[in-house]
Amino acid sequence: MQALSQPQAERAFQVEIGAEAEGQRIDNFLMTRLKGVPKGHVYRILRTGQVRVNRGRIRQDYRLRQGDVVRIPPLRLPAAEAAKSPPVRAVEHLGQRVLYEDRSLLVLDKPSGMAVHGGSGLSYGVIEALRALRPEAPFLELVHRLDRETSGCLLVAKRRPALRALHDQLREAGMEKIYLALVGGDWPRATEVRAPLHKNVLQSGERVVRPGVEGKPAQTLFEPLCRSALATLVRASPLTGRTHQIRVHAAHAHHPVAGDARYGDVELNRSLRAHGLRRLFLHAWSLRCRHPDTGGELSVTAPLPEDLRAVLESLGLAGW
């Protein structure tokens, strides 16, 4: 299978799915092969039925099977939408943040402020910068996602079988992810928050997640580590993998994550600015999974960034 060399194609073409792509979602398949095409455009051609599998319409979460024939429509995008190469500085910076790597996967310490992929007005993200850093790599795909302002452990697969095995672990709750979060108020004891989460899209296009009975089941374990008069440092373990889960569950428990402009508390955020907090205090601290090749345990930790450490020191919580 060949990726398009340009984000423009004059006529529709067909791709037959081989063993390497079996089990991959159609949206991820298209974004991998239509490099330079904005994410929003990929979902648009899926939603409007322009992409066909075996001559039939499919949903964006359809999983490909070996032998499927995918029809990809003509793509004529404005020049302004053409792919932009990630800045050299961003690529080099990412190259210095590899925490672990072998033939099948790598773990990055994602910086806060960098999206995991381009789209929605962003010309590039972590995965585009990583592909620019490793142009010889035949396969690089995100195993999971982190919010743009969240820092820490991000897992990337370097081989299709590894991606499938790691996705299986995510579905079966076989991967442990632990975050450090500073939340408002005094969180007195370990608490498991269970609240279904439902995604909404506002008229502005902004995606917002709310608790609600119509949502998907979601569970997060919060464990307090230390506290000040203003806030509590907690260890947050998502037992499910919903969008914005930790942030929404913390706010639902009346302890919003510090620095959260979407679900947080304005007064808390204003107070913590005096202690140097300039962004969301949420860090993907550690990740543990079974290695897809050996079956042995893989455990990786991303140190708390200096800016967040400085906030804790200012609050008198440096000894956590």
Which sequence positions are flagged as catalytic?
Answer: 147
Backbone angles phi, psi at 13, to 5 degrees: -140, 165
For residues 218 and 197, the answer to whether their CB atoms sit within 8 Å is yes
Between CA 154 and CA 287 the distance in angstroms is 8
- Cα 21 from Cα 161, distance rounded (Å): 9
Query: To 5 degrees, how large is the angle CA 49–CA 56–CA 53?
Result: 90
Tokens of 105: 């996967």
Number of residues assigned to the chain: 320
